[in-house]
Amino acid sequence: MSFWRLISNRYSLQLARILRRAIKIAAVALVISAVVVGLKVSGGLAYLTRPLAEARFSFLHSAPTGDIVFVEIDARSLQEAGIWPWPRRLYAEALDKLREMGASDIAFDIDFSSKSSSANDLIFSQALERAGGSVGLATFQQPASSGNARGKQALVNRPIETLRRVSWPVVVSVPIAEDGRVWQAIWGDEISEEPTLSLAAFLGGGEAAMGQAFYIDYSIDPTSLPIFSFIDLINGHVSPAAIQGRKVVIGASAQELRDLFSVPVHGVLPGAVVQILAAESILQQRALTIQGWLECLIAALLFALPLVIWKRFDWWWRASGILGGMALFEALGLVVQSKYPVMLETSGAQIALTLVFLHLLFRQIGLGKILLRISRVQTHNANNILGRVFDDSFDGIMVIDQKLRIQAMSRAAYRILPSSVSVGVRADNVLPDELMGAVREVFDSQFNWSRNAADIREVIIPLEEGDQRVVEFVVAASTHLDLGRSKKASQEVCLASVTCRDVTAQREATNKLQHMARHDAITGLLNRSGLENCPLATGHGLPNGMKLCLALTAVDQLDQLVASLGFQYGDLLAQATADRMRGMAIQGTTLSAIGGDRLALLFPVSSDVEARSFLEQMKSAISGEYDLAGNRVIVRFDMGYSIRQYEAGSIQELLREAGNALALAHGHSERGPVKYREKMSNTLRRRRQLDMEMATALEHNEIQAVYQPLVSLKDGELIGVETLMRWTHKDLGSISPVEFIAISEQNGRIKTLGEFILREAMQQAVQWTKPLRVAVNVSPVQFSDSDFINVVKRALNDTGFKPEYLDLELTESLFVEDHSEVEENIRELRKLGCCLSLDDFGTGYSSLGYIPRIPFSKIKIDKCFVDDIHTDAAHRAIVETVVGLARGFGMKVVAEGIEEAVQGEVLRKLGCDIGQGYLYGRPMLGDDIEELLRSAA
């Protein structure tokens, strides 16, 4: 009895053990199944299904049938056509050519939903009608709005009615998956409640329920499709044999047209190529469907769960079996997909096998060991990263312990610090004292993180080559735990971390920038900022009892030199002038280039005489001949200066006063240096006032023309007038022409004033009862202007004045230099019939070489030769010579400034033709000239 009871108990225990294992297996299977089903319902399996399917497409490879040809609208076709959208007659031409070549079916993956020109639409529709209904045109629909709750209303894009009547509508819509790629195509769709085949079904010939989708077989190679350029088809470069009996898709491939889709395996493909691959899938009976997820899941569980409880083999053999099962399922899926149009959904099985594998792994190794391993790997990775950061840091890093021994150094630290610094040596034996002082501060602070311990400091390290390196550094405290000899207790160890950086280049750049901020780039002298902050300007370098003298100098007519030679020669002149000034400067002189082509000298003086003597020597030294890169030029300088007792801000006053003196010296380089006097400020203020108010003087009718009679010395007859300008200022009264004309030449308003006077004189002259010659003074600035000829032409045309009665008076200064513009203007004026007079002859340019070249009709003798002509034999001889010269060139002579009858008589006897002066009449208004004419009649 006891024997049978023993047997019964033994089987009872085994049965209980089996039941417990079965329950555990069932529980594991239930949990895994719940996870997989949950992923399936939520769509999570798709994130694994797609990569597995893409891998199968990549492994499998099949060629297209070749029955479908792609005629692509590529970049070359767009370029040769030249416009987009194309005229639809091109599509008609392509359609006719394809029919002639024997194409069976033709589909356009192009939007024809909007009208083109009526003629082009008609041509295309006629071509479609000739095709006999074998052409499909793209149609698609999309939701009317994202907020449409019913989802039934849609925007339909279909061909225009003219084209739709003679073609088949084909749906070109493709569903886009959550990953943004096209995986599927549709068999067709209901467009406005009418069943419509998709383009793929139209070409592939398959049929299925409308709206039903299938997976495209991306193992078909799109690069093997027969593809021809649209422009080649139009130009007849496509063989008819390539089209005969085949179906054709016409669509865009050019990136500019943006008909591109992201797809598995192949990246990005044109929409027409996606349609062709879908049609090829139908033709090859490869319109794929996904099946078998539940069957695969059950098979995976039945395969893997026995391995969990089967302990006859070691756990790693069982784990290897599970991994092998995962590979087996994928091999099965690959075989099935290669034989049948089925994509075996193994993603659920793969997740189940993965979970079983993890369950087995955790049971065998234990979660704690796995976490420890993970922690060790993370620590290892962190140490590697920190070590790489330490070694590859742009800044140098060095660690020093409390025994002042160097424990670690980065590669950058080896480059920055002296070669004697290395790991293992004592820091106080090799590091500079400044750096070691900061290290000791860190250790002495008991790691109190004092503010000074982290200050950025700087040290200069001498190098072996004799150079030096500027190093910026900071010392910070840190600690780490040391187990010491006893591994049970740890000890906190204090360390000093030195971070250093080589800032030599930055310091040199900073010093260079500071130098550039205070010095002129061309001459190397101090600039204005440097001058205002130099020791002498701030009073630090001024000896007791001495005054400050500041002189400004500038090249006379520098703009002419730059215009003739170029800006680079202006720079060369500035450099050469600065060199001469350096050679002449007395001790204590500060030289500066303050801008605006002005150079400055600041020096201490004891008297005005001493200052003027030095400045005259300096002006003489810098004036004269210069050799500028092989070009010899003679340069004259203007100079103005001011002297003051030093006081705060006096440098600004000196600059202002010297600038005023220089302004008055401008154009008078033959003078010596001009010293500033208080009345100069009033003169310059008046000049500035006239300069500003000259702009409105014409508008306010303050400037007017007056006329001085010109008479024949032979019989006293009034034969002409000279036109003069007068400015009657509303506040200042009458302004001398000598004053305001010089200002207008400097500010450029002489052109406006000259045109006004020229036009005013002509308008007045045509109103006089007797035709008189009209002489008008022309400034060199005005005459050299490229628009001057047009000014004269407009005035002549607008007033009707005869050009042969116009005398334009030019001064000798116009011919100082050889200007081609001047000679061109003279030739144009002579063509117009105008006459030219040489004004103030004998007072300016000393050369007579220009007289034979210039077709003057008159020469005017200046008043200075007329004043004492009846008493001074030398002046009579000069006038007689001028008269002889004029006769030799066929010119008349005009004498101005005649105030006494005896002067006029002498001039008449010497042969002068025309007289002008107070003897015959002062400058007067136009009405007064008319009175003279009437009284003489």
Choose, from 896, 900, 905, 930, the residue flagged as catalytic: 896
Which residue do the tokens 């099946």 mark? 291
Q: Answer whether 843's CB lies under 8 Å from 864's CB.
A: yes
Q: Which residues of 420-431 are buried (b: 16+ CB within 10 A; e: fewer)?
A: ebeeeeebeeeb
Alpha-carbon 928 to chain mean position: 65
At CA 157, angle to CA 154 and CA 158, rounded to 5?
125
Rounded Cα–Cα distance for residues 90 and 111 (Å): 15
Rounded Cα–Cα distance for residues 705 and 693 (Å): 18
Torsion of Cα atoms, 595 then 596 then 597 then 601, to 10°: -50
String of DSSP letters for 759-779 = HHHHHHHTTSSS--EEEEE--
Which residue intervals of 393-469 are DSSP H helices?
411-416, 427-430, 433-444
Nearest to residue 835, comparing CAs of 862, 854, 851, 820? 854
Handedness of CA 641, 646, 651, 656 (dihedral sign): negative
Q: Answer whether 640's CB lies under 8 Å from 665's CB.
A: yes
Q: Answer whether 250's CB lies under 8 Å from 94's CB.
A: yes
State the helix-helix crossing angle for 293-309 and 315-339, rounded to 10 degrees: 160
Among this protein's residues, is 809 annotated catalytic? Answer: no
Q: Answer whether 475's CB lies under 8 Å from 444's CB.
A: no
Rounded Cα–Cα distance for residues 581 and 579 (Å): 5
Burial class (CB in 10 A: 0-12, 13-18, 19+), 236: exposed
Residue 37 in tokens: 């089903």
Residue 422 in tokens: 């290395």
Which residue do the tokens 């008909």 mark? 259
Residue 397 in tokens: 């890093």
Burial class (CB in 10 A: 0-12, 13-18, 19+), 91: buried
Rounded Cα–Cα distance for residues 446 and 718 (Å): 112
Handedness of CA 495, 496, 499, 504 (dihedral sign): negative
Residue 112: φ, ψ to 5°: -115, 30
Q: Answer whether 775's CB lies under 8 Å from 723's CB.
A: yes
| Residues assigned a catalytic role | 896
